[in-house]
Copies of this chain bind each other. A is one copy, B any other.
Amino acid sequence: MEIHFSPEQLAFRDEVREFLKQELPADIAAKVKLGKHMSKEDHERWQKILSAKGWYAPGWPVEHGGTDWGPVEKHIFDEESAAAGAPRLVPFGVNMVAPVIIKFGNEEQKRTYLPRILSGEDWWCQGYSEPGAGSDLASLKTRAVRDGDHYIVNGQKTWTTLGQHANWIFCLVRTDPEAQQQRGISFLLIDMATPGITVRPILTLDGDHEVNEVFFDDVKVPVENLVGEENKGWTCAKYLLTHERTGLAGIGASKAALRHLKRVASKQQKNGKPLIEDTLFRSQIADVEIQLMAAEMGTLRIVAAASEGGVPGSESSILKVQGTEIRQAITHLLRKALGPYALPFLPEEMEYGYDGEVLLEDYSPSLASSYFNMRKLSIFGGSNEIQKNIVSKMILEL
């Protein structure tokens, strides 16, 4: 047993660090660290830099433009990226639809879509959730009716993250209305420019526009946009959800947030001293730091097992719960650190490049908003209750 990285792994880490130091634009890193708004252009700029290095799609097979990294290297890359303040990659193209196309798509689909994801030409979004189907994904209602060479799609999707930037959407649609639940669902790729598609913003409770509703009104989709077999879309959906669950513990992001917390607590004061010197507050930081240490060890254990070919079972659900609770605890402490200054809501100060009067500090405007925004972590990606159901099923076998 050995908890330290091997010399090769350390060398790789140094290479990643050096790359990030040289290539990650300072303005983007500053936005990430201070919780400022990221523009579409910011995402695209960083993605192009990664693509040029060949590191945009580490998880893809080499022949499609991926890397030969193992789980440990991927983990190191993610950790270092988060530590350096690199933006989290928008996953819908590179890490969601692409794996499905690689696994279930035909050659034509691979040739068409994968290069455009790599190059940044296409921006994908997801069409999974529906208003009536939250955790109960299989109860979805969006219909696709075959009409010659096309499907005619009608229905509504929701929680479509960054759909306002996307030119493509992958959708789960019901192609056999008679079939029960999971059966009769198909996986369709839809060009957002097709007539009949409307994107409506959903403002989240922190006032941010990150998610959207997408309406389909007699949208004509060519049949060649079907991935896998008709009515067998649930297979793709399941594969994608499993893929999505890894990394949901968000250790790298939490470590960055914890560093931020310490910085904030060193500047904020209580009783005339930095807040971090307050016994109660400091012990709360220590508590969450220890929890994070344990979750990081847990992640490393899964990563190590994966590099030996192991398939994570209940551990990844457990880590998703632990990881999101840790992240939420950190955002709680960050908000708390501001005292009465958690109240001011200053969207203008959350824009990068704001050059007006700063009310408190550069870090302060985003903290309360971020606390509220991060409540989503225990809801989306399979709520924490659903994760516990998954584990229960595995361990109880009842």
Contacts and interface: CB of A to CB of B under 8 A. Distances in A.
A280 B279 CA distance: 8
Interface in A271-287: 279-280, 283
Nearest to A280: B283
Interface in A57-83: none
A395 B283 CA distance: 38
A273 to B, nearest CB: 14
Contacts of A283: 280
A397 to B, nearest CB: 22
A283 B279 CA distance: 11
Nearest to A278: B279
Contacts of A279: 279-280
Q: How many identical chains are in the complex?
A: 2
A279 B279 CA distance: 7
A17 B280 CA distance: 40
A95 to B, nearest CB: 40
A123 to B, nearest CB: 44
Contacts of A280: 279-280, 283
Nearest to A279: B279
A285 to B, nearest CB: 14
A279 B280 CA distance: 8
Interface string A272-307: 000000011001000000000000000000000000
Interface in A330-353: none
A4 to B, nearest CB: 33
A216 to B, nearest CB: 34
A283 B283 CA distance: 12
A279 to B, nearest CB: 5
A280 B280 CA distance: 7
A249 to B, nearest CB: 29
Interface in A254-280: 279-280
Interface string A341-377: 0000000000000000000000000000000000000
A140 B305 CA distance: 49
A195 B275 CA distance: 72
A334 to B, nearest CB: 21
A298 to B, nearest CB: 27
A192 B247 CA distance: 64
A160 to B, nearest CB: 32
A386 to B, nearest CB: 20
A384 to B, nearest CB: 19
A283 B280 CA distance: 9
A256 B279 CA distance: 29
A113 to B, nearest CB: 46
A217 to B, nearest CB: 36
Nearest to A283: B280
4 contacts: A279-B279, A279-B280, A280-B280, A280-B283
In the complex, the 4 A-B pairs of residues with the closest C-beta atoms, listed nearest first: A279-B279, A280-B283, A279-B280, A280-B280
